[in-house]
Amino acid sequence: MSCSSSDDTIEYQAIPKDLEIPQLFSNLLLPPTIPSDNPQTIEGVTLGRKLFYEPLLSGDGTQACANCHLSENSFTDSDRFSTGITGAIGTRNAMPLYNMAWNFEENFLWDGGAKSLEEQVSDPIENVIEMNNTWPNVVATLQSTSIYPELFTQAFGSSTITKELVTKAIAQFERTIISGNSRFDQYLLGDQNTVTVSEIRGFNIFMDEERGDCFHCHGSNSNPIWTDNIFHNNGLDSSFADLGLGGITGDPLDNGKFKSPSLRNLAFTAPYMHDGRFETLDEVINHYSEGLVYSETIDPLMKNIAEGGAQLTEVDKADLKAFLLSLSDPGFTINPDFQNPN
């Protein structure tokens, strides 16, 4: 690392920091997506983690990203809808944050409204029902502190703070939030003792087109992201208060479609669905088993719509639930690398 000084710009070279890629991911998946204009560095990740937990990003200095994306909940909110600084209530459940660098389509948010992780970081700060701030105010606030100009210098070689650099730093941190060490991951890596017979039966139900058929949307042992990151109408409603993808594209054929979430860490991410309508996994499974509702844009993969769903037996439901929970990783939620450094 070399330094020279000229005005407030110092030649400073941050130290590259590779992502800690789980073995299954490196075995089975394409390399993670790192934008060329925002490479991962130690200093960038350190700064981004501090900013993720920084309430100064909000209009009244009380709310950080972490207030709605809690580490103990796999970086989602246990409240159905999050509350912004004005007391306004949101309309969608906060999405959990992990394995973002493997979202190769780079359609972020439930409706694909953000086309990069950096863009997704930007939105909540100015959203009036969330952090209700302005970017000029965020920049000025951080610039006025005794700490942040130096941290930005270390990360990006400039003490002049900009919106772009703030979002880049937070995105760098978010890319390090990786979950890939559940019991089922360990099973796939060869440890036969980490899962139960019921969980294996549940996996078979998950992979069986005639029963759960979950794998067409939610990945598999060959795609351990456990989502296809594609938008589907999964039969929740006959009409839509929330258009989802259709609200972004303007195409009626996209109405009611939302991005398949990853099935990792379901033990920590309740409530479920884009609007958090299901408080328990039992409700989720019951929906796909008997609760499908027809609409014009329902995905054809909801193959049993005429019967209301897959009509799973109670034993199948229990096994499927057991398998889904085996994808949860308690160690992820307490990983010290993701906790509040402030």
Partner 1 sequence: MKKHILIIVIIIGLVSCSSDDGNQPIPDILISVTNSQNWDSENVTASDLGTTEFTDENGEILIIERLRYLISKVILTNSYGDEIEIGNYKLVDLTDNNTLNYATNIVVPPGTYTGISFVYGFNEEDNMDQVYLDLNTASWNWPEMLGGGYHFMQLDGTFTSPTNQSPLPFNYHNGTARISEGVFEQNFIRVNVDGLSIDSNTNIDIKMNLAEWFKNPKTWDLNVLNTGLMGNYDAQREMNENGQSVFSVYLGD
200 touching partner 1, by CB under 8 A: no
Q: Cα separations (Å) of 267 from 109, 110, 183, 326, 329?
A: 21, 20, 13, 9, 8
Chain positions 31 to 90 lying near partner 1, rule: CB under 8 A, are none
By CB under 8 A, is residue 129 in contact with partner 1? no
Q: State both tokens at 170.
A: 């937070």
Q: Does 204 bind partner 1 (CB under 8 A)?
A: yes
Number of residues that bind partner 1 (CB under 8 A): 32
From 120-128, 200-208, 237-245, 268-276, give the range in contact with partner 1 by CB under 8 A: 200-208
Query: What is the DSSP-derived secondary structure letter of residue 98?
Result: S
Please list, in sequence order, all residues whose beta carbon lies within 8 angstroms of the beta carbon of residue 176, skipping any fewer than 6 positions away. 17, 19, 20, 40, 45, 337, 338
Which of residues 3, 89, 189, 253 is near partner 1 by CB under 8 A?
253
Integer CA distances (angstroms), 37 to 33, 80, 168, 172, in order: 12, 35, 9, 11
54, 228, 316, 319: which one binds partner 1 (CB under 8 A): 228
**Residue with smaller CB distance to partner 1, 282 or 296:** 296
Q: Is beta strand 5-6 parallel, antiparallel or unpaired with respect to 9-10?
A: antiparallel
Task: Determine if 91 is a binding residue for partner 1 (CB under 8 A).
Answer: no
From the CB of residue 314, how many other CB atoms can be counted at a distance below 10 Å? 8
Distance separating alpha carbons of residues 259 and 240, to the nearest angstrom: 15
| Contact between 220 and partner 1 per CB under 8 A | yes
* Other beta carbons less than 10 A from residue 13's beta carbon: 11
Q: Which CB, 27 or 62, lies closer to partner 1?
A: 27
Minimum CB distance to partner 1 smaller for 62 or for 222: 222
List the one residue from 136, 250, 300, 336 that touches partner 1 (CB under 8 A).
300
Q: From CA 219, how far away is CA 229, in angstroms rounded?
A: 9
Binding site residue list for heme c = 65, 68-69, 214, 217-218
Contact positions vs partner 1 (CB under 8 A): 27-30, 102, 104, 204, 207-210, 215-217, 219-223, 225, 228, 253, 297-306
